[in-house]
Structure 1
């Protein structure tokens, strides 16, 4: 007899169709397990780039170990960095490239940028003790003098004709209650590099939009900025202002951008699609930047004005009078505020105009010298410059194939090298030219890599290899001179003793400038390098000649350090221990040891009493 139950029976599959015929105890089916594995794989794939960035930063930080400058040779820092540290840097670049040509999440890309910034700019401050580079300490001494006297040292150093940074630094130090600006010098490369990278990012977005090119430009700027012009100096500060000025100019006052459009005659330029208020603000900001640059650095404001002129000639810049405005402030300062310089150094300034060969010798040929390690480092710098320029040129070709037939971008990058025809700038001119052109070159490389976007795997591999290799090479090239340009607490101590001993007018001489000279008492105590005693009539090159020169000039104090010895060995092929021979010669000719610690010596003439 039928009870009707058969018609009312409901199966488990009817209630839970996604579970099929799974038993009532809820055990997962093979299909469930497969689906969960897929979800987990997607989750891991989403988290992997951020995890790899954090892992890379962790490896970099864990791999950092203190480095004794006295153990370095001509290859510099790279031989002392652990493989773990270098692996971390490469991993950060690879993770960023993976994300950039994948989901392109801002937070992950920002983490990769921060990781790359820290690993490139903070490595040297973290592995060493006091701040590196003698020039940073010289600038600290200048700031201290202005703070103590309220005035510059007249007819002393060309940098005092552009004193704005020294004045501002002392104001900050006093406001922070600092007796010396040691910490500011140590952190300067990290701060200046980070600020400049933000400016390059803004400039790249103004040129190419907020996409892959902009991110790549920032990474390549960080990874290829080997020039080490970001130490505590006016040029580091003004470089940040220079990049900011470029970003404002391109974003608010140009139409079309320097990488887009075709040929436009200057008199047919168009008004950019920004509001009148925005353009007014841009002009005001650029004028303020020009005024700030003028008393701070002798070169940077003219380069910014030159960039505006190039944009105008290519019909991109809407304001025809902007280059004149940018040029007016530094010109007025040069003839009024820097009068001492052009009055006393006019022949030297004018004499260098047009001598491109002299700049080439001073900036390139003369630098590829020294022992094998130093030659490898200097050749590597030239190689990185050529590689960056070549890939940026490929990016320009990519733009031309996309019907953007303009020479604006390569001319902006290349025009900075015209400065080399004006002044050798102490042999550093090509490093400065490269640094001024680097934002444009980085944008060009960004376009070259962006062209691979349709082949995501290839784009990731090429970008990761390029960014990682450049970042590691950047550390190698930045640290190539660390054997003689990195200091210890002993170097600061011997100079402090010298300042405490020397009376006003007594002279302190160092055998090489690889010493934190002029870090104090710059106006009261003459401080000179042995090269300033040298002349054709009286050479002071060999150990015996140095002793004779110091004795003949009756120099009161001589500072000798291991860095001076290594500089002579690496750069000039002198025998290790040559500074010891000079010390022995001085001790045999009327000098005595005033201070000695950890290889650092302070010698004083026997015929004088100790100072206060």
Structure 2
């Protein structure tokens, strides 16, 4: 927003010349004061990507498509194709408007200034998404002008409305694939909610909830209804998901290391995420649950069609730690 406003002021398309300065003060105040608890411990993560345009683009686009199930790749390729199609139409709209004798400095600023954000950081591999969303208002208007370059000044023929209709149908159909293609692991199932309710009902003083991840260092967002409450009492621990569903010994060891009041959750949403995004085999979840059920040192405290919770039959020694509350404001 700061970049777009600055560009509009420079292009003399915004009469509030002090607005970028005001917004800059707000940004500096937010980052310097309210966001200090975050960046004080993640300074390199916040500023380490400055100037690394190529790396930021790669982590946001190509790295997110590599590997995984073919169905999931279709969803990701559709997203990239839709974004590229809208931006290509926007560029075509710029050329057609210039040919018609119009200049679009405000729309150019709205559509293309957000791409400067690629020079700031990768935003955890999601900078391309942020850039695209901020560019959409200007890009969509320019894309519409590609079909109607004269606006309302000239009555369009049949080809312009027909092309716009076909493009709209194509974008709408692609949107259904791009937006709902990940529903197998993004949707919340009743059984998974029941499992989390059980955890919340037994989280005094605290619990450690182990969940299955293909990369416990980088893949730290579980596909389940987590964090609804008791954030100071429930510690969500990413745990390596075994490729061989029969090899559950490391999971039992992780439960022991987690200490008393610890649970392992196996839920359908996370299993689908591993299948689609990390190419885990079909039927992996059910075979894993069967192997866990056969372990004599484990006890299943909850089980349904969507999730299962396991704990050790013999409680590990020690006591569960007390909850730690975050400070009410930055120090």
What's the TM-score bracket when you normalise by the shorter of the two chains?
Answer: 0.7 to 0.9
Q: 1:495 to 1:427 in 2, by over 3 A?
A: same
Q: Secondary structure at the match of 1:427?
A: coil
Q: 1:441 to 1:498 in 2, by over 3 A?
A: same
Matched, 1:596 2:303: yes
User: Map of 1:433-582 to 2, 5 A cutoff?
Assistant: 433-451=131-149, 454-512=155-213, 513-530=222-239, 542-543=243-244, 544=247, 546-547=250-251, 550-554=254-258, 556-582=262-288
Verify the 8 A CA contact 1:565 1:576 in the aligned structure 2. no
Q: CA deviation at 1:546?
A: 4.8
Corresponding position of 2:102: 404
Corresponding position of 2:328: none
Alignment counterpart, residue 72 of structure 2, candidates 374, 385, 388? 374
Q: Secondary structure at the match of 2:160?
A: helix
Q: CA deviation at 1:549?
A: 5.3
Q: 1:525 to 1:473 in 2, by over 3 A?
A: same
Q: CA deviation at 1:585?
A: 4.8
Q: 1:554 to 1:567 in 2, by over 3 A?
A: same
* Distance in 1 separating the partners of 2:127 and 2:147: 29
Q: CA deviation at 1:360?
A: 2.1
* Distance in 2 separating the partners of 1:500 and 1:406: 58
Q: CA deviation at 1:603?
A: 0.9
User: Map of 1:338-349 to 2, 5 A cutoff?
Assistant: 338-349=35-46
After TM superposition, the score normalised by the length of structure 1 is: 0.46
Corresponding position of 2:218: none
Write 1 or 2 for the structure with the bigger share of strand: 2
Corresponding position of 1:605: 312
* Distance in 2 separating the partners of 1:549 and 1:401: 69
Alignment counterpart, residue 322 of structure 1, candidates 16, 19, 23? 19
**Count of matched residue pairs:** 299
Q: 1:352 to 1:552 in 2, by over 3 A?
A: farther
Verify the 8 A CA contact 2:263 2:309 in the aligned structure 1. yes
* Distance in 2 separating the partners of 1:343 and 1:579: 40
Q: CA deviation at 1:488?
A: 1.6
Q: CA deviation at 1:317?
A: 2.0
Q: CA deviation at 1:586?
A: 4.3
Write 1 or 2 for the structure with the bigger share of helix: 1
User: Map of 1:210-225 to 2, 5 A cutoff?
Assistant: none
Name whichever of 370-379 and 452-461 sits farther off. Answer: 452-461
Corresponding position of 1:141: none
Q: 1:549 to 1:331 in 2, by over 3 A?
A: farther
User: Map of 1:93-172 to 2, 5 A cutoff?
Assistant: none
Corresponding position of 1:423: 121
Verify the 8 A CA contact 1:485 1:514 in the aligned structure 2. yes
Please provide the CA RMSD for this pair.
Answer: 2.4
Verify the 8 A CA contact 1:393 1:410 in the aligned structure 2. no
Verify the 8 A CA contact 2:111 2:136 in the aligned structure 1. yes
Q: CA deviation at 1:552?
A: 5.0
Q: CA deviation at 1:408?
A: 4.6
* Distance in 2 separating the partners of 1:406 and 1:462: 22
Corresponding position of 1:352: 49
* Distance in 1 separating the partners of 2:149 and 2:11: 25
1:90-126 CA distances to partner (integer Å, 9 max, x unpaired)? Answer: xxxxxxxxxxxxxxxxxxxxxxxxxxxxxxxxxxxxx
Q: Secondary structure at the match of 2:139?
A: helix
After TM superposition, the score normalised by the length of structure 2 is: 0.82
Q: 1:581 to 1:553 in 2, by over 3 A?
A: farther
Q: CA deviation at 1:420?
A: 2.1
Verify the 8 A CA contact 1:547 1:585 in the aligned structure 2. no
Q: CA deviation at 1:337?
A: 1.8
* Distance in 1 separating the partners of 2:304 and 2:131: 41
Verify the 8 A CA contact 1:504 1:525 in the aligned structure 2. no
Verify the 8 A CA contact 2:8 2:109 in the aligned structure 1. no
Q: CA deviation at 1:367?
A: 1.7
Q: 1:542 to 1:519 in 2, by over 3 A?
A: same
Corresponding position of 2:327: none
* Distance in 2 separating the partners of 1:599 and 1:340: 37
Corresponding position of 1:385: 83
* Distance in 1 separating the partners of 2:2 and 2:146: 28
Name structure 2 gaps, 5 residues minimum.
214-221, 321-331
Q: Secondary structure at the match of 1:595?
A: strand
Q: 1:477 to 1:549 in 2, by over 3 A?
A: farther
Q: CA deviation at 1:334?
A: 1.7
